[in-house]
Amino acid sequence: MDIESSQIETPGGPEAMVYRPATITAPGSDEVRVRHSLIAVNFLDTYHRSGLYPLNASPIVPGVEAVGVVDAVGADVEGFEPGQRVAYLHAPPGSYATHRNVPATSVVALPNDLKDEHASSLMVRGLTAWYLLFRTFAVGPKHTILVHAAAGGMGQLLGSWAAELGATVYGTASSEKKVEAGLEAGYDEVIRYDEVSFVDEIERLTEGAGVDVVYDGVGQATFHDSLDCLKKRGLMVTFGNASGPVEAIEPRLLGQKGSIFLTRPSLFDYVDEPGEFRTGCQALFDAIARGVVSPPNLTVVPLAEAARAHEMLENREVLGTIALKP
Task: Give the tens place of pLDDT for each residue, 187-227.
Answer: 999 999 999 999 999 999 999 999 999 999 999 999 999 99
Task: Give the C-alpha separation, 267 to 131, whole Å.
Answer: 7
pLDDT at 240 over 90: no
Q: What is the mean pLDDT of residues 160-167?
A: 96
C-alpha 223/C-alpha 240 separation (Å) is 11
CA–CA–CA angle 133, 239, 257 (5° rounding): 90
Residue 295 clears pLDDT 90, i.e. is over it: no
Q: pLDDT tens digits for 8-43? A: 999 999 999 999 999 999 999 999 999 999 999 998
For the chain, give the mean pLDDT: 94
Which helix (DSSP H) or strand (DSSP E) does residue 325 occupy? strand 321-325
For residue 251, what is the DSSP state? Answer: T
Task: Look at residue 269 and tell me whether its pLDDT is greater than 80.
Answer: yes
Number of Cβ within 10 Å of residue 116's Cβ equals 18
Map out the domains of the chain with their CATH numbers.
2-121+295-325 (3.90.180.10), 126-266 (3.40.50.720)
pLDDT digits (tens, 9 = 90+) for 108-124: 999 999 999 989 878 88
Q: How many CA atoms lie within 13 A of 64 on its CB side?
A: 20
For 132-146, the DSSP string reads IIIIIS---TT-EEE
Higher pLDDT, 241 or 31: 31
Secondary structure letter of residue 97 according to DSSP: B
Largest CA distance in the chain: 62
